[in-house]
Amino acid sequence: MVKDIKAIIFDLDGTLLDTGEGVVKSLEYTVEKMGFEPLTRARLESFVGPPIKKRLLELYDMSAETADRATQVFRTRYGEGDIFLAKKYEGMDSCLAALKARYKLAVATYKREDQAIKLLEKQGLAKYFDIMHGSDTAATMTKADIIRLVISELGCPLNNILMIGDSDNDALGAENAGISFLGVTYGYGFKCADDVNKFKNAGIADSCKAILEELL
């Protein structure tokens, strides 16, 4: 059981919501629009969570300027409607309601902040969170930058804050920001406990119910 926690920061993609369908759809549009080589389904899904620009540069031989243009194409398309092709993970509402009764809750996501807040409001999850921050418009912030921004508003000592996420970006972001991390294996990043255990962590959960068991 995770102890001495007063505030919890959640990742969004693959942690709060299954956003894969919308991300993949917008990415397919972006790849075609930009004239890039088509990607396999597995590679398309690898964009769920990480910064779009970073993943584009990893998979394609392109300049940073081209990656910036492609990122803007993606974000525009995604914000026009694909963003709402998202589903809550089973038990998420009851999980957040139970946690909110005991902890301050926040969101730190790579999603553009205005789009992230719009999505959380549409899904009925925004009401559970005291603070919600995402990436800047230019997509220059790291996950640790976004987490630190949330931390600055939480008003809690670092040793009383826990990050919950589904990927190495979340684990490393939490470590770089100086807070504890709990990894979930039901999203798009970590698939099993061994994946989480490659990183410093305070616990592992394979469902919303398991998150509650770790924290309550």
Annotation says 11 is catalytic: yes
d(CA 167, CA 169): 5
Residue 98: burial class (beta carbons within 10 Å; 0-12, 13-18, 19+): middle
Q: Nearest to residue 204, comparing CAs of 3, 212, 161, 196?
A: 196
Mark residue 183 as left, alpha or beta (left: phi above 0; alpha: psi -120 to 50; beta: remaining).
Answer: beta
d(CA 120, CA 12): 9
**Catalytic entry in 4, 11, 93, 168:** 11
Residues 6+ apart with CB under 8 A from 158: 151, 177, 178, 179
d(CA 1, CA 214): 5
Residues 6+ apart with CB under 8 A from 35: none
By annotation, the residues acting in catalysis are 11
